[in-house]
Amino acid sequence: MGYTGDKPAVFFLKPNARDPGVPPVARAVQHVTSPPHMFRECPDGSLEIRASLGDNHGAAGSDGWHGYLDEGHKWRKC
């Protein structure tokens, strides 16, 4: 709360953030807000994020990764 006004937010690095040769935007900390995304803390302490985490950042272009964060800290690519 705060950074995004009155909406809860989650900040994260996508799984390609440290891959060689990715565009600079892929290395940036990203965030989603609720709504429109939904996130929940799972019983194992991991986080699940829905809807999908996009890869288009306007003028910055694609970060090369689009998918979901599933329970158990598992990234799933679309």
One pLDDT digit (tens) per residue for the chain, 78 residues: 888 999 999 999 999 999 999 999 999 999 999 999 999 999 999 999 999 998 888 777 888 899 999 999 999 998
Question: What is the structure's pLDDT at 62?
Answer: 86
pLDDT at 67: 95
CA–CA distance, 60 with 77 (Å, rounded to integer): 20
How far apart CA 18 and CA 9 sit, in angstroms, is 23
Q: In the beta sheet, which residues pair with residue 47?
A: 41
pTM of the model: 0.84
Q: What is the chain's alpha carbon radius of gyration, rounded to the nearest angstrom?
A: 13
Gap between the Cα atoms of 60 and 39, Å rounded: 25
Domain boundaries, the chain: 9-71
- How high is the pLDDT of residue 11? 94
**Other residues' Cβ atoms within 10 Å of the Cβ of residue 59:** 5
Structure tokens that stand for 31 in this block: 């965030």
